[in-house]
Structure 1
Amino acid sequence: PDPASPVGTAAVMRSGEAQLIAQVPDSLLEEAAQDAEHLALIRALGIRSAMSVPMVTGGQTLGVMSFVFSESGRLYAEHDLAFSQELAARAATAIENSRLYTDRAEVARTLQASLLPEALPQVAGWRFAADYRPGQRGAEVGGDFYDVFEVQGGQMVLLGDVTGMGVAAAALTALVRHTAKTAATFDPHPAAVLGHVNRALRQRPRIEPVTMVCGLLGEGEITLAIGGHPPPLLRRGDACERVGIPGLLLGAVDDYAEAAARTVALAPGDTLLLFTDGVTDTPGAENRFGEQRLRATISAAPPEPAALLATVSAALDAFAHGTGQDDRAMLAVQRT
């Protein structure tokens, strides 16, 4: 069809005005046809009556809906046009809502990806693996984060959980990660890093608690400091135990007592699992997943980091019940 024609879908798209052709004349079919063969095919359809209705929402025309009668012999009237306009408006709203949801979801995915490292480093003598799962469907950006990066004396390992979800949580996560990385550049002691993060949080206009575990990997050992976070679990052989000394929540008080650091020797094959409370708080049909189940799952899992995380994730997915799930993050560190 001619896009400049005053009749048809192109005209309706341009003007945003509906068109009703109660009886379609043969001359209109001749104008629409590209050649004699095309005209014969159009005539064979037996089109008797037609409507073209704009799909409008928010003052914008998204498309055109066309309606035709042929074999029935019916003819469209003004009341049919009013009904079709209402139908087209609802369809346009549905399309726009779908587009907005898709755009919002893409923004959330992009923002979430920017808060996590693109890849974990390759470090001689160590093996890393991480897993992040968003919470319930419909949630925006989550507040869990992790990172591994080089500092003086080794590698810094971080894992934490900020308050809330959405853009505000993303901004807080970015602040915590940037502060921790900057602080570790000047002083890589884990307790000192937590202290710097606490001071940055206390400068915020309102209380925004954060939990975090910070570890410095050295020669066959890791020094841990914990700020209100679940202590990591160490898989050694078939045993699994807590390591680290629990400390105060970050961002809660000005007179923050420096977290007590603990150095743990790691033998080849030992695997340390850092995790957020979304793991142990995973709701089941009757209760939470809990640390006891997590320890048992870790003890039965392969020690290799990626395989261990896959086993734990599968156990959590099988246990989970309902939609009220928090996002969860896990970081596994193994000495090779």
Structure 2
Amino acid sequence: MQHVHRVVVLALDGVYPFELGIPSRIFAAADGRYEVLTCTVDGHPVRSNADFTITAEHGPELLATADTVVVAPISPSCVTAELPDEVTAALRWIRPGTRIVSICTGAFVLAAAGLLDGRKATTHWRQADRFRHMFPHVALDPDVLFVDDDPILTSAGAASGVDVCLHIVRKDHGSRLANTVARRCVVPPFRDGGQAQYIEQPVPENGASSAAATRAWALERLDEPLTLADLAAHARMSRRTFARRFNDEVGLSPGRWLIQQRVARARDLLESSDLSVDQIAGRVGFATGASLRQHLHAAIGISPQAYRRTFQAAR
């Protein structure tokens, strides 16, 4: 009998309703593989950051039954360097080894509990300076959509909760199910780049265009030896202007972004096909199987063969 993975979402005072609902919406679309329940620190209703309160059916003891705990974000005005006693007491219900996820300002809660000390993490880019000041022992990266520092995952603002939940489905069950879930929820299965593309920027000079069309063009040609000159020519920009615009929009250099996309495509083929490592390398634009092995190991720390075995078992 298939184990149903229990996800428990912790709602605190000042919770954002949209983000609170993300785990239920995403995981419920995964063909019965997850059960999502919501609790509060005392079983009582909590104030949302909107004009209504939210009632949950469970108290903090539910956290002891979780395979994954998600801490939903709270209004920045509710964030404190030290947790209220009732929140600290609630977090003690979480069993050692449980996967813990935060969305947006939920990272402040994990950091205040000491769970992020010495770890990599992220939060909403607008709260990055405040986070660094309050929690200097956390390696904050405000440029990414989420950080997976197993068993703790942190995500950036609002819709990045969707990204991290899809990542969990992909990690647990492979890209095929994650893609199915994304289609059912009418969201992209993977967003390229990071938070840098959403940070407030000055209006581009001279009405210069976005690099988005060129990114889409490149994704259709990952098997080709694309260069910065090729990308800039497609965008009808100089190489210097294109590289600057690309980095402003995506938060990565064009070369680094291409490697990221090629690794992502290779992972999908390792999960969903029986192609050899050399064949996959050719299809995603790496010159050799050795090059694919090097880049995959740099990205996720394992070999193609080990990655394939893991996801074949998951399927």
The TM-score with structure 1 as length reference comes to 0.24
Q: Going by fraction, where is helix more abundant, 1 or 2?
A: 2
For CA contacts below 8 A with separation 6 or more, give which structure has more relative contact order: 1
Q: Going by fraction, where is strand more abundant, 1 or 2?
A: 1
> Rg: which structure is higher?
1
The TM-score with structure 2 as length reference comes to 0.25
